Amino acid sequence: MTSGNIQLLSETLAKAKAENRAALIAYLPAGFPTVDGGIAAIKAVFDGGADVVEVGLPHSDPVLDGPVIQTADDIALRGGVKIADVMRTVKEAHEATGKPVLVMTYWNPIDRYGVERFTEELAAAGGAGCILPDLPVQESAVWREHADKHGLATVFVVAPSSKDARLATITAAGSGFVYAASLMGVTGTRESVGEQAADLVRRTRATSGLPVCVGLGVSNATQAKEVAAFADGVIVGSAFVQRILDADGDEAAGLDAVRELAGELAAGVRRVS
């Protein structure tokens, strides 16, 4: 039986901590702008300095995602992206870099595909785990059983509205890290990430020894530095997607742009002063 790379994910986050910095976690959807183009973009982001990449599984009803990622998902879905393409994206990105690659997906596609089949294929592809933003913890036992069996992390999302008792329930069930949504609402770039996020990280850490990584709203090096001061990882998605959209079909320009942004953000998470 193949085993996934939860260990690699944990080691990568621990290494960043040992270097007295936050990890840089990037998000890009599979199949955007094409399957091959998406794989190239992930390699470019790793090349620029990302520690971990989340591969989005494009979905027709992305409730957590703002307009930028919805646009990218739409392009990927119109291009005919399938779960097999997501697995190939994970496999090729991990094999090319040796770095941890997760899948971020809504529950419905996994449920329809089959939990056993999905976890087995993700582990075989070298995946490190799954971020499941809409899977309620109390309904996650079957998923977690298969994920554990295949060496995959189960990353749950916590929000500023989560009460302390709820945080404890979520973190007890999760593995790899905890995804802390910095604010209420959907993904996208914001002017400030702010105090809500710092408070959520503090409250989440009080319930668990898992690393706490903050996403939603981080788009530049200044914000990455701000979040890195209190979080174990900084998650950036929409800003990378926007760079590819801005390249307007020029693949080389898009790759240069995401590599450059990754470099700026990587410098941001390393600035501790």
**Given 51, 54, 120, 226, which residue is catalytic?**
54
And the tokens for 129? 């785990």
| Residue in 232, 230, 236 with CA at minimum distance from that of residue 209 | 232
Closest CA to 64 of 162, 153, 135: 135
Q: Is 180 helix (H, G, I), strand (E, B) or coil?
A: strand
Q: At what angle do helices 164-173 and 194-205 cross, to 10 degrees?
A: 60
Longest dimension (CA), the chain: 48
The CA-atom distances, in angstroms, between 97 and each of 65, 91, 101, 103, 126 are 27, 10, 10, 16, 11
CA-to-CA distance for 69 and 56, rounded, in angstroms? 9
Active site residue 54: yes
User: Exactly one of 19, 51, 65, 164 is catalytic; which is it?
Assistant: 65
Q: In Å, how far from its chain's centre is CA 174? A: 15
- Residues sharing a CB contact under 8 Å with residue 238, sequence separation 6 or more, in sequence order: 66, 68, 69, 187, 188, 189, 219
Active site residues: 54, 65
